[in-house]
Amino acid sequence: MISQTTDPRTGLIRFSNLEDVHGKGLEFELSEKRPSGWEGRLSYTLQESHSPLDGEPLSNSPRHLAKVNLIAPLLPKKLFASFEGQEISRRLTVFQTALGGAFVANATLSSKDLLGKLRVSASLYNLFDKHYADPVGQGFRGGSVVQDGRMFRVKLTYQF
């Protein structure tokens, strides 16, 4: 397991492989690409990890993770709509405080070589404006950081 420590010589924080971890789990994924341009993927992970020293569950180690991706062609090989949904179950902070699970969805409209070599995409992140927090390391107060609500982003990429 990677742990945050302070280097006694320099006083700087560093991350080192320090501890053994016991874990077991199961993971599967299904994906499909259709000749029509439709794509889909579904994945799920079930896992349990704990410290062999005290048997405590690891921080930021969810038991369940699930993800779904769908891509639909709007203009064949040129314009696409996509959806991504991610479910993460309850997690513990480094202070053993429980953070609830969260389902976060994103949607994107993207082009591929729509105007020559220009690619354009517009995305909505956290589509349903879910309020949730992620665990953080020991150098932070509170053990978690609240994540951003709904965000919109436009991206232009020109390939030359």
- pLDDT tens digits, one per residue of 66-118: 999 999 999 988 999 999 999 999 999 988 889 999 999 999 999 988 777 88
Residue 7, domain member (yes or no): no
**Residues 101-110: b if buried by 16+ CB within 10 A, e if exposed:** ebebbbebeb
Query: Residue 57: its pLDDT value, please?
Result: 85
Task: Tell me the C-alpha distance between 86 and 41, whole Å.
Answer: 12
Task: Give the whole-number percent of the chain exceeding pLDDT 90.
Answer: 62
Residue 5, domain member (yes or no): no
Q: Mean pLDDT throughout 118-124?
A: 95
- DSSP-derived letter for residue 1 is -
Residue 75 pairs with which residues in a beta bridge? 79
Residue 133, domain member (yes or no): yes
Residue 132, domain member (yes or no): yes
Residue 15, domain member (yes or no): no
Task: Provide the residue range defining the domain that includes 97.
Answer: 24-158
Residue 16, domain member (yes or no): no
Structure tokens of 40? 């889909």
Query: Residue 73: its pLDDT value, please?
Result: 96
Query: Residue 18: its pLDDT value, please?
Result: 60
Residue 1, domain member (yes or no): no
* Number of domains the chain is built from: 1
Q: What angle do CA 149, 146, 130 make, to 5 degrees?
A: 35
Residue 107, domain member (yes or no): yes
